[in-house]
Every structure is written in structure tokens, then in C-alpha cells.
Amino acid sequence: MNVLFAAAEVAPLIKTGGLADVAGALPAALRRAGHDVRVVMPYFRELRERGLPVEGPIAASFLTVGERQEEVRIWRLAEGDTPVYLLDIPAAFERKAIYGEGDDDRRFILFARGVLALMQHLREVERWQTEVVHSHDWHAALIANYLKTYYAYTFGQVATVFTIHNLAYQGQRSTRTLALAGLTEGGLPEDSMGPGISGTFNFMARGILFNDVVTTVSPTYAQEIMTTEYGERLDGLLRAKRDRVVGILNGIDRDIFDPATDGHLAARFDVDDRSGKVACKAALQAEFGLPVAPDRPLLGIVSRLVEQKGLDLLNLAIPWLLQRTDAQLVVLGSGNAHLQFVMQQHARAHPLRIAVRIGFDAALAQRIYAGSDAFLMPSRFEPCGLGQMIALRYGSVPIVRATGGLNDTVREGYDGNGFRFHPYDAPHFTNAIGRALQVYRDRESWALLQARGMREDNSWDHAAQQYAGAYEWAVRLVR
């Protein structure tokens, strides 16, 4: 199939979160499976200043937004196996910020209209007919809205798939955005979309409403978002469309995250010879200034330091960890200023047990996966999560809250690969850590856990097969 991928960020070009990893890796996996997948993203100023090798502009046009028209020029990345088109819209993307601007609604209305301009160019000039548009998160949500209303005659029966990476970020604006988007006629009024949307313009809601198939990034999250607890006030709309909603787990790049070839590590290892992991643990303890103690359990965290990731729960659990165990803890991340301060306070008070680095360092993150015995992810909610999959790959046993993708990838029991807890409170979290540390003392059982996790197949090739099925489903729905 001919699939056009539309996303605001694509790794390794621009990345602020997991969306970029998906938009960078999934198209390549789909192309390996024989599909002609092409990617479109904004041409942010940062990309232009970086001097990427580009071809073009291959097309130029004007886009209508409100009562104004803005120029768009389309460039094509001149390297890589996956075709990537860059929408050069100065009014929207000639600035430092990726998101968080006061006119984000206008910026991503222009992005959606720019994607339509690209589709027209591909059809008329390159003779490439888009069969499926796969849009990601609220930034690309209006593409299907336009395709199913004003541009239905122009483009015909194009199937549309929309992926929700995190329902908490919806692009919610005032109803004035309705006129800015040119949807005052022909589009459905916001009040008809369900509770939580009345009186607003909601990009995410329109993505859910107008796309043929809606996917989320794990099966459990697909069920959770239909509840009031996790639905972010869009659960009613999602329940109404539940027969077209499916959860597909994200994957990881097994070439990048491979302890047998990872050049960032003190020693390399694999599932059949894990002796190098012992050296990685010692090197990590030394790097963080902790006592080098091979027999003491070393727990790792690589995370945004925000409540969603369970850092408030970790704060409550640390006194128990210090008093009732001999475990060490290393933390890498940044985020909420208060939580950063709290974690640093713990490290200053207990320098032989806890070490914290504020910021993000990809190489250090991989050393934490490789050197830690167990990996903590006590998330309040987690649409998919990649940390637990990477930890499994590196033989770090995950201890997670059973939510979203964590619930789908971590199992506890006779065929388990980690430890889980469900109620979001410190006693259940510490109980899960306690169970893990008890097994850790049984070296044979722990080795079996590690080996089972390292053999898990969380590759993108598996996810690509499921996405191809979603595309086929969407195509059937429009024919």
C-alpha cells in the first residue's frame, strides 16, 4: 500500500518524546514489509539551521488559514531509505519552539493544509496516489477532518488512520479556532462530540471522530481511555467509536538497543553470556559515585521527573528502600522542578545509596539499562512505554505499575519477565520491589528472569504487521 505518515516530530531529525521514535522507526519497518511509506513533517527552523541535505523546493503553494494565506514550500530529504517531505511554512515553523506557542492552533492548521498540498503534488507530479494517511496525535488530527469533508471530492476515497500517543495532550482551544480552520460550515459543531468538548475546539477529538480507524500504542491503553479515569473527558466519544479503536504496542529498534553491540557500555554481553553485565554494573556504580558492590541490588530509573511517571510515588517509597533494603538507586531525568529538587535532596542525604543526574544523556541511559539489576517504572499512566522494553533487552528486570503498555509487556508469575503492582500507592509499590529483591537473592531464579526478558521480541517488525492490518481495515471501510 501507499501510506503517507504525518507527524510533527520524527527521530532522529526532531525528538521531544516517544512520538518521534514511532515516526522514525515504524515507516522503515513497514517498508521492509513491502509497503511504500513516505513521511511528512514540519521543516522547523532547527532543521534548516542544521543544514540537512535537501532537494527542492519540489513544490510551492499558498495555504488558507482564517482570512490570510501563507506560503508553503515542500522540500525532500536527500538521504535515508524512507522518503521524508519537509513542509516549509515560515508563518508556522520559522521559530525556535516545536510546541507550546500561543498560536499552535494556527500552526498545525497550516500543517494539516500543507499535507493536503503535498498529497496533491504527489498525485499530479510524482504520480503517487495516497491510499492511506496515517496521522499522529493532535498536531496532525485535522488532516482527516478536511479529507472527509471539504476535500472528499478532491481526493476521493483515501483511508485514514489516527494514532493517539498520549490522550492527555489534545490541542484544546476556544471555538474561535473553528473559523480559523475554515470549518464553520460543513464540519460538525463541537457540542455534538460529547462531554468534555462542548464550548471548545478540540484537535484530538476531531482526529478521533473523522478518522476511519483509531489506534493507540498498547492494547491495555486502548481499553483504559474508554473509562472516566483515563479518558481525559473524551471517553464518551471513544466508547461511541469503540468498534474502530485498536491498541498496537510500540516497538524498539533492536539494532540500536543491543547489549551485544552497544558501544556505550563498559562491556558487551548477550543472553547466552551475561558476564559483561557484571562489568557494566561495576562501571555504573563507579560512574555515579556509589560503592562498587556486585552483590547489592542496583535499581535504575530513566524518566521524565513528573508525577505521571510515578516520581511522587518513588519519593514516598525511598524511606522504605533505605531502611528495609540494601539496594542502591540511580536516577536520570529532568522535569518538574520540585521533583528534581526532592530527588537531589535524597541523593545529598544518602550519597552511598542514591545518585541522581538531572538532564538527559542517551549514552548514559543505555549504561543504566545495562548496569542496573532492576528498572523502576511506577507510572500513574503509561500509554505504551519504551523503558521497560529496553530494560528487558539489557537484562534489567522491570518493576512496573500494571497500566497501559507496562501491563502488556511485563508479566509476573511462572513465565514472568518482571514484577507488577496495580493500586497506585506506596505500599503496593514497595511490596513489588520487595518481591523482586527476594527473587534477586536466588541467583538461579533471577538469571532465568533476565534470560526470559532478553529473549522477548519487542521489535518494530512485529508492530508493523499489525499496523498493516489496520491500514487494510481502514481501506475496506471506505470502499
Same domain (yes/no): 67, 182: yes
Residue 284 scores a pLDDT above 90:
yes
Note the pTM of the prediction, 2 decimals.
0.92
Lowest mean pLDDT among 174-178, 342-346, 462-466: 174-178
C-alpha cell at 52: 540537512
CATH number at residue 310: 3.40.50.2000
What is the C-alpha separation between 376 and 310, in angstroms, rounded?
9
What is the C-alpha separation between 354 and 289, in angstroms, rounded?
9
Query: Is residue 6 classed as helix, strand or coil in its secondary structure?
Result: strand
Read off the pLDDT of each residue in 88-110 and give the average, rounded to a whole number.
94
Q: What is the pLDDT of residue 175?
A: 82
Read off the pLDDT of each residue in 364-386 and give the average, rounded to a whole number.
96
Question: Are the C-beta atoms of residues 143 and 160 closer than 8 Å to each other?
Answer: yes
Query: Is residue 144 classed as helix, strand or coil in its secondary structure?
Result: helix
What is the C-alpha separation between 26 and 38, in angstroms, rounded?
11
Question: Are the C-beta atoms of residues 420 and 412 closer than 8 Å to each other?
Answer: yes
Q: Does residue 269 sit within a domain?
A: no
Residue 172 scores a pLDDT above 60:
yes
Query: Which stretch of DSSP H or E encloses residue 328?
Result: strand 328-333
Question: Are the C-beta atoms of residues 101 and 107 closer than 8 Å to each other?
Answer: yes
| Averaged pLDDT score across all residues of the chain | 94
84-88 and 36-42 beta bridge pairing: parallel
What are the strands, taking DSSP E only, across 177-271?
Answer: 201-202, 213-216, 245-247
Phi, psi of 118 (to 5 degrees): -65, -45
Same domain (yes/no): 224, 300: no
Same domain (yes/no): 316, 302: yes
Same domain (yes/no): 299, 206: no
Read off the pLDDT of each residue in 376-403 and give the average, rounded to a whole number.
97
Lowest mean pLDDT among 145-149, 289-293, 323-327: 145-149
C-alpha cell at 110: 497550516
Q: Which residue has the cell 513465565?
A: 415
Q: Does residue 257 sit within a domain?
A: no
Give the pLDDT band (50/70/90) at residue 188: low
Q: Is the CA virtual torsion 12, 330, 404, 337 positive or negative?
A: negative
Same domain (yes/no): 209, 154: yes
Same domain (yes/no): 226, 306: no
Question: Are the C-beta atoms of residues 155 and 128 closer than 8 Å to each other?
Answer: no
What is the C-alpha separation between 181 and 149, in angstroms, rounded?
13
Q: Does residue 259 sit within a domain?
A: no
Same domain (yes/no): 60, 204: yes
Could you write out the DSSP letters of every residue in 240-261? Answer: HTGGGEEE----B-TTTS-TTT
What is the C-alpha separation between 133 and 156, in angstroms, rounded?
13
Same domain (yes/no): 343, 364: yes
Maximum Cα interatomic distance, the chain, rounded to a whole number of Å: 70
Q: Does residue 207 sit within a domain?
A: yes
What is the C-alpha separation between 329 and 301, in angstroms, rounded?
8
Query: For the CA atoms of the chain, what is the radius of gyration?
Result: 23
Question: Are the C-beta atoms of residues 197 and 237 closer than 8 Å to each other?
Answer: yes
Q: What is the pLDDT of residue 437?
A: 98
Neighbours of 267 (CB within 10 A): 17
Q: Does residue 265 sit within a domain?
A: no
Same domain (yes/no): 170, 145: yes
What is the C-alpha separation between 319 and 331, in angstroms, rounded?
16
Q: What is the pLDDT of residue 18?
A: 83
3-state helix, strand, coil in the chain (%, to 5): 45, 20, 40
Query: Is residue 469 classed as helix, strand or coil in its secondary structure?
Result: helix
pLDDT per position as a tens digit, 315-366: 999 999 999 999 999 999 999 999 999 999 999 999 999 999 999 898 999 9
What is the C-alpha separation between 47 and 30, in angstroms, rounded?
25
Same domain (yes/no): 217, 282: no
Structural domain count of the chain: 2
Give the pLDDT band (50/70/90) at residue 186: very low
Same domain (yes/no): 241, 290: no
Question: Are the C-beta atoms of residues 408 and 222 closer than 8 Å to each other?
Answer: no
Give the pLDDT band (50/70/90) at residue 429: very high
Q: Which residues are CB-contacts of 302 (< 8 A; sequence separation ≥ 6)?
A: 332, 333, 365, 368, 369, 375, 387
How far from each other are the two terminal CA atoms of the chain, in whole angstroms? 15
Q: Does residue 279 sit within a domain?
A: yes
Read off the pLDDT of each residue in 64-85 and give the average, rounded to a whole number.
94
What is the C-alpha separation between 477 and 457, in angstroms, rounded?
31
Question: Are the C-beta atoms of residues 25 and 253 closer than 8 Å to each other?
Answer: yes
Angle in degrees, CA 319, 323, 327, rounded to 5: 90
% of the chain exceeding 70 in pLDDT: 97
pLDDT per position as a tens digit, 231-241: 999 999 999 99
Which is nearest to 154 in space by CA: 126, 132, 127, 124? 124
Q: Which residues are CB-contacts of 246 (< 8 A; sequence separation ≥ 6)?
A: 213, 214, 215, 216, 219, 222, 470
Q: Does residue 268 sit within a domain?
A: no
Q: What is the pLDDT of residue 471?
A: 98
Which residues span the domain enclosing 435? 275-457
Estimate the crossing angle of helix 426-440 against helix 311-324, to 10 degrees: 50
Which is nearest to 277 in space by CA: 391, 196, 166? 391
Q: Does residue 98 sit within a domain?
A: yes
Question: Are the C-beta atoms of residues 202 and 174 closer than 8 Å to each other?
Answer: no
Q: What is the DSSP letter of 335?
A: B
Same domain (yes/no): 149, 61: yes
C-alpha cell at 226: 474508554
C-alpha cell at 100: 507550546
What is the C-alpha separation between 222 and 110, in angstroms, rounded?
29
